[in-house]
Amino acid sequence: MAMFSKNRYAAAAWLLASLSSTAAHAAPSAPQAVEAQADKLIRQRLADAGLEQPDIKLQSLPPRDLPSACAAPWLAEASDSRAFSRMRFDIACPASGWRGVFIVRAAVSARVAVAARDLPSGAALSAEDISWARRPVTDSADLFGSSAPPIGLAPRGAIRQDQALRRRQLQPPQWVKRGDIVNITIRQNGIEVSNAGEALANGREGETIRVRSPASGKILRARVSAEGEVTPLE
């Protein structure tokens, strides 16, 4: 009977130790918890920008006083994620109340729009001007994915072949030049009325310029709505 009790207690102790070991292995470590949050955040940013085929490599730098373990799941939250190359994550152990900061460095690349050839300044882009290639990503919002290519935008300056196309390098094309005769168009309730006017300034898509009506001599403010066309704001 004594031998049976010893064997039973030994088996129970072994089972408890096994379960504890399994739970310890199942719970992510602090670096794993931080890197999981960093990976999720970066992938969401890339998805929001329409960038495909992401490749993400992470390096996490823990605080010096990081505990070796936490009795509860680690809590990780981004406190500064403006630059993928250096992000800050707050990390906490709810069981002990310990808190610290991880630095995470991410090397990120994705499939983005690049110049298919040398592009001159000012010429609106067509589909033939754009190709797709993997490039490093430091600011996902500044790049273009295949879901929204920069067709119709114009380079502010010359762009070399294979260079990534960035939003800050592009702008809407100039649809109106100073001195041009433009259509002043009003659309309301399915009715369209147009009159000729003289542009008093250059204008790109969506910009507001001054236009003179030759018939009345009145100067009005209008938004550039199409090539050679403006819509009055007053």
Q: What is the mean pLDDT of the chain?
A: 87
Amino acid at residue number 221:
R
- 170-174 CB contacts, 8 Å cutoff, 24+ apart: 170/125, 171/204, 172/204, 172/205, 172/206, 172/207, 173/122, 173/124, 173/204, 173/205, 173/227, 174/122, 174/202, 174/203, 174/204
The percent of residues in the chain predicted with pLDDT above 70, rounded, is 88
Tens digit of pLDDT for each residue in 149-175? 999 999 999 999 999 999 999 998 888
Distance CA 35, CA 28 (A): 10
Q: Which of 3-17, 68-82, 85-99 has the lowest mean pLDDT?
A: 3-17
Distance CA 53, CA 162 (A): 18
Predicted local confidence at residue 1, as pLDDT: 44
* More confident of the two residues 6 and 145: 145
Tens digit of pLDDT for each residue in 111-120? 999 999 999 9
Mean pLDDT of 75-80: 97
Predicted local confidence at residue 26, as pLDDT: 58
> At residue 15, does pLDDT exceed 80?
no
Q: Locate tokens 């970066």: which residue?
A: 42
Task: State CA 125 to chain mean position distance.
Answer: 22
Q: Which runs of consecutive H residues, i.e. helices, occur in the chain?
A: 2-26, 30-48
